[in-house]
Amino acid sequence: MQATLAMPAATELLPLIPELVLVGAAFAILMLDLFLKDSQKAITHTLSVFSLLAVAALILAGVGSGEQTAVLNGMFVRDTMADVLKVSVCVISAVALLFVWPYFRDRGLYKGEISVLVMFAALGMMLLTSAGSLIMIYLGLELLALSSYALVAVDRDSPLASEAAMKYFVLGALASGLLLYGMSLVYGATGSLDLATIRDTASSVAQPMLLLTGVVFMIAGVSFKFGLAPFHMWLPDVYHGAPTPITLFIGSAPKLAAFAMVVRLLGVGAAPLAEQWQPLLAVLAALSLIVGNVVALMQTNLKRMLAYSTISHVGFTFLGFAGGGPEGYAAAMFYAISYALMATAAFGAIVLLARRGFEADMIEDFKGLNARDPWSAGMVLCVMASLCGIPPFLGFWAKLAVLRAAIDGGLLWLAIVGIICAVIGAFYYLRVMKVMYFDEPVGEPVLPRDDATLKLVFGVNALALLVLGGAWSPLMAWCQSAFA
C-alpha cells in the first residue's frame, strides 16, 4: 500500500530532475568547501561549473521530460520555453563563474560561497521559468534575489560594493512588495493562485477593476526587476558598485528569468487582458529606449555605460512583448538570449583587463588596446558591434526580430522610436571602438591579463556573437517552437 501511494509522488518528481540535481550539487559543494583549504578552492569552482553544465546537458537530453508537463498541482510546468531558458541560464551561469575565478583569485577574495550562491541563483531562475502558479513565481524570484544581494556584497571591504548591495536590497524589497501586492489583488479577484485558472476566469470576474489594478502592480514589480524605465534607479549604481564578474552575472542570466516571469504572469495569467496591458508595456519600452540610450551617451565609466545600455536593451526586449502573439514572444525570447550572451562578453572585456588595484572600468582604459593586443581588441570590437546592432552580428538579427514583431503588432510608432534609439546607441558603442583603434593610451599602457583560460573563454564568447549572427536561424526556430 505504501509503495502504491509513493508512485504518484515519484512520477511528479521526474520533471524536476534537473532542479533536484542542481540543488543536490549545490548543497554537496557547500559541505565540501568547509573542508577545503584556501589553496584548494579551485575544486569548489570547478565542480560548480561542471554541475551547471551537467544540468544543461540533462535538459538537452530530455531527462525527466515526458507527457506530464504540469506537476505539483500545476505549480511546476515543464515545457519547451522552460527548457530553452533553463539551458541558457545554466550555460551563461557557468560562463560567468569562469570569469569569477581569476578576478577574485588575484585579489584573494575567492570564497566557495560565491559559486554556491551562483548555483542557488540559477536554481531560482529555473523555478521561475517553470512557474505555473503565483506561489512558484514568488519562490523562484526571492531565491534569485536573495542570492544576488549576497553576491553583490561579497567584497565586504569595498564601500562601493556595500552601498550597491544596500541599494539593491532596499529597492529589490520594494519591487517584491509591489509584485506581492499585485498578486494578492489578482488572487482576490479570481480566487486562485494557478495561472491557468486565472487566465480562464479573467474575462468573467465580478470585479474586473480589482484584477486590472493587480496586473498594473505586477507590471510595476516586474519592471523593477527588469530595470525598465522609470523603475531603473537601482541598476546603474548596482552595476557600477558590484565586483565586475558579479555585475556580469546579474546583468545577463537574470534577464532570462525576468523574461519568463513576464510570459507566465502576462502571457499566460493575464492573457485575456492583453488589450489593456500591451499599451502600458509599449510606453515602458519607449521610455526605456529613450532614457537608456540618451543617458548612456554621457557616461565615461564603462560599467555605467553598459548599465544604461542594459535599460535600452530591455526596452528592445519589450518591443516583442508589446507586439504580442507567439511571434512577438518568440522575438522577445530570442532578444533576451542574445542580449544575455552579449552582456556576458561586454563585462568579460572589463575582467580581461582588470587586475588587483585596477578595475579597467573607464572607457579611456581601453585607449590604444589594438596596438598592445590586436586579438583582444578584435574580440571587444565583435562585442561592441553586436551590441550596436551591426550586421552580420547576432545583435542585428535580434533587433530586427523585435522591430518586426512591433510592426506586425500594429505599433509602427514604437518601431520608429526603436530605430531612432538604435542609431543614438550606436554612438557610445562606436566610441569604445574608436578609443581602441585610434587613441593613444593615457599613462602606462594596460595589457590584458596573461591568463590563457580567461582569454579562451572571452574569445569563444565574443566569436559566438559572430558565428550565431551567421547561423541565427536555428536559435530563432528554437525560440519559435516554445510558443508554437
In a domain, 454, yes or no: yes
Predicted pLDDT at 13: 80
Predicted pLDDT at 362: 87
In a domain, 306, yes or no: yes
Burial of 232 (0-12, 13-18, 19+ CB in 10 A): buried
Q: Calculate what percentage of the chain has a pLDDT beyond 70.
A: 96
Q: Which domain holds residue 313?
A: 275-484
> Which residues have a Cβ under 8 Å from the Cβ of 483 and sit 6 or more positions away?
81, 326, 327, 329, 330, 333
Q: How far apart are the first and last CA of the chain?
A: 42
**What is the Cα–Cα distance from 259 to 460, expressed in whole angstroms?**
25
Predicted pLDDT at 323: 84
Is-contact 365 301, C-beta < 8 A? no
- Neighbour count for residue 389 (Cβ, 10 Å): 22
**What is the Cα–Cα distance from 123 to 140, expressed in whole angstroms?**
8
Predicted pLDDT at 67: 61
- Alpha carbon of 147 to those of 155, 257, 344: distances in Å? 14, 14, 19
Predicted pLDDT at 447: 67
In a domain, 142, yes or no: no
Among the listed residues 482, 279, 314, 484, the one whose alpha carbon sits nearest the alpha carbon of residue 402? 314
**What is the Cα–Cα distance from 370 to 356, expressed in whole angstroms?**
23
Predicted pLDDT at 64: 76
State which residues of the chain have pLDDT below 70.
Answer: 1-10, 66-68, 442-447
In a domain, 110, yes or no: no
In a domain, 470, yes or no: yes
In a domain, 54, yes or no: no
Is-contact 213 191, C-beta < 8 A? no
Q: Check the CA dihedral 378-382-383-389 and report its sign.
A: positive
In a domain, 443, yes or no: yes
Burial of 416 (0-12, 13-18, 19+ CB in 10 A): middle
Predicted pLDDT at 3: 41
**Number of structural domains, the chain?**
1
Pull the grid cell for residue 474.
536555428
Residue for grid cell 526596452: 315
Omega of the bond prior to 392 within 30 degrees of 0, cis? yes
In a domain, 129, yes or no: no
